[in-house]
Chains A and B, each alone.
Chain A
Amino acid sequence: DTEVTQTPKHLVMGMTNKKSLKCEQHMGHRAMYWYKQKAKKPPELMFVYSYEKLSINESVPSRFSPECPNSSLLNLHLHALQPEDSALYLCASSQDLQGRNSPLHFGNGTRLTVT
């Protein structure tokens, strides 16, 4: 299995809802990432996990809460989002953080709409 799988593909939620995005990979990668991508813009890094520990938080608002239950899974818990949080949320993984030439493998993303 050489893919990063994200669920759901689409999500519509109200500003008072609580929802979670899920990401899974079985490539044995030890680094996993959450990116946010607005239309026609590059992905913006949100969080990085390395060996199941949070390594980087790019000053993301606390209404986004990441979780890495094990080396294959990455979740993003959402609560009290704003309409401007509507975007494509991408999960990615790589073999490790420190290795040279360790490219990212991206999932298809979850298209989130906050109403």
Chain B
Amino acid sequence: AQRVTQPEKLLSVFKGAPVELKCNYSYSGSPELFWYVQYSRQRLQLLLRHISRESIKGFTADLNKGETSFHLKKPFAQEEDSAMYYCALSGRNKETSGSRLTFGEGTQLTVNP
């Protein structure tokens, strides 16, 4: 079974402060991890994927297999970062030879001026 846990439903920080959105996962195989973001009245969109090891909009996320975590970090939060953030895990499905994406419950980030 695959599971994604985002322990914080709500997270509020001030502009310019560092922000960390936590994500822990449970999966027996080799996971593929993603962060998706949903800004107000916009479509759900991919923010980061662990395999790319990239920084998007100042956000980074490192896969820590020992701690089974994929926390999202940004050193200086901006007001426009306010959104719902979903951590997601793609695990191989033996029945279909495909992959199923499992989302965490999401963290609503609010960056205050």
Contacts and interface: CB of A to CB of B under 8 A. Distances in A.
B56 to A, nearest CB: 12
A105 B43 CA distance: 9
Contacts of A50: 96, 98
B98 A100 contact: no
B97 interface: yes
User: How big is chain B's contact interface, by range?
Assistant: 20 to 34
A98 B104 CA distance: 21
Contacts of A55: 96, 98
Nearest to B92: A98
A87 interface: no
Nearest to B6: A42
Interface string B19-57: 000000000000010101000001111100101100000
User: How big is chain A's contact interface, by range?
Assistant: 20 to 34
A107 B46 CA distance: 12
Contact of A90 (B44, B52, B97, B99): B44
Given A41-B106, A42-B106, A98 B44 contact: no
B43 A103 contact: no
Interface of chain B: mostly helix, strand, loop or mixed? strand
Contacts of A108: 42-43
A113 to B, nearest CB: 17
B70 interface: no
A50 B108 CA distance: 32
Interface in B54-113: 84, 86, 90, 93, 96-101, 103-106, 108
Contacts of B86: 42
A48 interface: yes
A114 interface: no
Interface of B: 32, 34, 36, 42-46, 49, 51-52, 84, 86, 90, 93, 96-101, 103-106, 108
Given A101-B49, A106-B44, 20 more contacts: A40-B84, A40-B106, A42-B86, A42-B103, A42-B104, A42-B106, A43-B44, A45-B101, A48-B98, A55-B98, A56-B96, A97-B98, A98-B97, A98-B98, A98-B99, A101-B52, A102-B90, A106-B45, A108-B43, A109-B43
